[in-house]
Structure 1
């Protein structure tokens, strides 16, 4: 069973999906980490500025492996797991750039679909409901007002002891929303038949509880289809 969750920045996708996967006892597929891993790998090989043709040829040859282990995504480089290397802010910025390259998206779409075979997964990412898993048993588009999302991000920074200006964060979110929704490659939008859930007035617990209910309903429907003659 695949539960695909999409939505704009600051909607709470990562936090909700981790807890949802834990509540259901299924794997959590962090597609953002996969993009950061590819960005890091391309930087190691001085390929981040390579042509689309070269990227398409070289990406499958990189010693980069994606695995589901104990319900979590594990990413190996040359047989050793990657960790802190992917948490560098510069890698996050690079991941945002390489995610706009079609060879990278095609490569990771294939990997993400492969990881879902043989595993029940909660897959979280910007194009999960539209491109990667358009036929997922449950598709959810999490959203919230731009002001609420900015306030959430501002609180996260404050809790980490980082200085941040709420209005600057709001402007950045609005600019990213516009860029994501207008891009040619995998624009930000709900997938067909995706359930749109506005979390502006909901707590994380309430969102997770609602998604658990929908997931159980989707699982029951899937089992009935499998058992029907």
Structure 2
């Protein structure tokens, strides 16, 4: 399976930012699994599927054709042949992704694609269940986390910077609800893999987190 690196953790922990940086440093392929779930969520929203209708989610998600392509080393997410990379980062899509990702049919649909990507290249993959379920044999597993307060503040500043109206209290509530859903779902819940290294980013900047993970990777490679 190559030298795959699995980065798991709750919403807002900085997984995607760190994973992209690690992948670039090591010339690995970055696989943003969250973007895949967001693409399915966008499809569900467009089809008017309520977040709580599990049966309908399981049915309608099968109509979504999700593919990944790389353009100038950047991941592009296609939904039914439409490039939706720029449409899937809204709070509405994020909340629907969290609600729909607990559905086994949604997860099984995407896991096959994710494993195929890892089988064909050295990858850095981030998500909620990469080290525990998608890539249980990953070369290095990281569990990236931060306090709810820290994660909410980061998201608030990110949205403010983009000029998107937001409320810190609402963001905090959304993150707490998302954590609960992710950690208590029956199928492949969010949890730290037994052989994953815990990295708490609450008091660390991006460079410090990336440096720590790169150090862990290089130390493990040196032992081979």
> Unmatched 5+ residue regions in structure 1?
225-229
Change in 2 beyond 3 A, CA 1:46/1:201 = closer
- Tell me the TM-score normalized by structure 1: 0.81
Deviations 1:136-188 (A, max 9, x none): 00000011122222222222233233444434433333333233222222222
- Superposition deviation, residue 213 in structure 1: 1.1
Question: Using the alignment, how far apart are the partners of 1:54 and 1:202 within structure 2?
Answer: 39
- Give the corresponding residue for 1:9: 11
Aligned counterpart for 1:92 among listed residues 84, 91, 94: 94
* Greater mean deviation of Cα atoms: 32-41 or 140-149: 32-41
1:62–1:184: structure 2 CA closer, same or farther, 3 Å change rule?
closer
Measured in 1, the distance between the counterparts of 2:208 and 2:98 equals 30
Deviation per CA, 1:7-30: give whole Å up to 9, x if none: 112211111111111111111101
1:227 is matched with none
Deviation at 1:54, TM superposition (A): 6.8
Q: Does the alignment pair 1:39 with 2:79?
A: no
Partner of 1:207: 209
Q: How many residues align?
A: 220
Give TM-score, length-normalised by structure 2: 0.83
Q: Give the whole-Å Cα distance in 2 for the aligned partners of 1:65 and 1:177.
A: 27
Q: Aligned pair 1:23/2:25, yes or no?
A: yes
Determine the structure 1 residue equivalent to 2:68: 66
Q: CA RMSD in A?
A: 2.8
Equivalences for residues 1-229 of structure 1 within 5 A: 1-42=3-44, 51=55, 55=59, 59=62, 63-68=65-70, 70-77=72-79, 79=81, 81-221=83-223, 224=224
Greater Cα radius of gyration, structure 1 or 2 = 1
Q: What is the alpha-carbon distance in structure 2 between the residues aligned to residue 219 and residue 66 of structure 1?
A: 29
In structure 2, stretches of 5+ residues that fail to align are none
Please state how far the C-alpha of 1:34 moved relative to its aligned partner: 0.6
